[in-house]
Amino acid sequence: MGEGRDRREQILEAAFGEFSERGFRGATIKGIAEAAGLQSPALIYWYFEDKEALFREAIRSRVPLLQTIRDPEALLDRPPEEVLAEVGRAFFSTADATSSRQLLRLMIGESTHHPKVAELFFQSGLGRALRFLELYLERQAELGRLRPHDARSGARAFVGMLFVQMMGKAIVPQLLEGAPPDEDYLQDMVGIFLEGLRLEGR
C-alpha cells in the first residue's frame, strides 16, 4: 500500500512537471512515464483513468489555491476575515511558484485556441475555487455574518479583485507598478469586499 502511494505521488510529481513545461496538449503519457522513471507508460493507467484524470489530480495536489480549499467542510463555518485572506494568499502563492506560474501561462495560451482544454483547465482550477467561494458565501449568509446576496456574483467579484495582482505576478509585471505589497493589497480587498456584504449594525 505504501509503495502504491509512493508510486502515485511519483507519477503526480512527474505529471505536474510535464504539464508545466509542455501544457496539456504537449504533455504525453509516455513522457510522464519517462519522467517518473516507470518502465512502462501503461503503469500510469493503474492509478489514473486517462490523461485528463491525471491532469485534474496533478493540478489539485500541487496548486496552492486548490490545496487550501481541498477540504471545504473544514472552512465553511470559519469567519470570513480568516478564510478569504487564506484563499487570497493561496491565490497569490500559486502565481509565485515557478512551476504553477509556468503552467498558468501555458494553459491560458492553449485555452484560447482549444475549447476542450479551456473547459478542463477551468473545471480543474478556477471553477473549483469559484464553487467553493459560492458555498462559503452562502454559508456565511446563513450564519448571519453576511447579508443575503447572489453568491455566484459574490464569488466572482472576490476573485476579480485578486486577479489583477495575480496576473501581474504571473504574466504582466507592469500591472504591479505602483501596487502595494501582496499582504497589504489582500487586506484592503478583503476589507472592501466584506464592507459591501455586512449586515446593518454589524
User: Is residue 68 assigned to a domain?
Assistant: yes
**pLDDT higher than 80, residue 106:** no
User: Is residue 201 assigned to a domain?
Assistant: no
The SS3 call for residue 125 is coil
> What integer pLDDT is reported at residue 2 of this predicted model?
54
**pLDDT higher than 90, residue 41:** yes
Residues 183 and 96 both lie in one domain: yes
**pLDDT higher than 70, residue 4:** no
User: Is residue 191 assigned to a domain?
Assistant: yes
**pLDDT higher than 90, residue 194:** yes
Residues 111 and 143 both lie in one domain: yes
Residues 117 and 17 both lie in one domain: no
Greater pLDDT, 104 or 69: 69
Residues 49 and 90 both lie in one domain: no
> What integer pLDDT is reported at residue 200 of this predicted model?
62
> What integer pLDDT is reported at residue 171 of this predicted model?
85
* Highest mean pLDDT: which range of 7-11, 50-54, 149-153: 149-153
> What integer pLDDT is reported at residue 160 of this predicted model?
94
- Give me 56's grid cell: 485534474
User: Is residue 40 assigned to a domain?
Assistant: yes
CB proximity list for 29: less than 8 A, separation 6 or greater: 41, 44, 51, 54
Percent of the residues in the chain that have a pLDDT greater than 90, as a whole number: 59
How confident is the model over 69-102, as pLDDT tens digits? 999 999 999 999 999 999 999 989 888 877 777 7
- Contact between residue 139 and residue 190 where contact means Cβ atoms under 8 Å apart: no
Residues 73 and 134 both lie in one domain: yes
Over residues 164-175, the mean pLDDT reads: 88
> What integer pLDDT is reported at residue 1 of this predicted model?
44
Over residues 93-112, the mean pLDDT reads: 80
User: Is residue 13 assigned to a domain?
Assistant: yes
Please tell me the total count of domains within the chain.
Answer: 2
**pLDDT higher than 70, residue 3:** no
| End residue of a domain, out of 38, 55, 72 | 55
Over residues 172-200, the mean pLDDT reads: 91
Name the residue range of residue 17's domain: 2-55
**pLDDT higher than 70, residue 172:** yes
Residues 18 and 71 both lie in one domain: no
CB proximity list for 95: less than 8 A, separation 6 or greater: 101, 104, 166, 167, 169, 170
> What integer pLDDT is reported at residue 102 of this predicted model?
79
- Average pLDDT of the residues of the chain: 89
Domain CATH code at residue 161: 1.10.357.10
Percent of the residues in the chain that have a pLDDT greater than 70, as a whole number: 96
State how far the Cα of 172 lies from the Cα of 174, in Å rounded to an integer. Answer: 5
Residues 171 and 124 both lie in one domain: yes
> What integer pLDDT is reported at residue 120 of this predicted model?
83
User: Is residue 202 assigned to a domain?
Assistant: no
User: Is residue 200 assigned to a domain?
Assistant: no
| End residue of a domain, out of 10, 27, 55 | 55
DSSP 8-class letter at 193: H
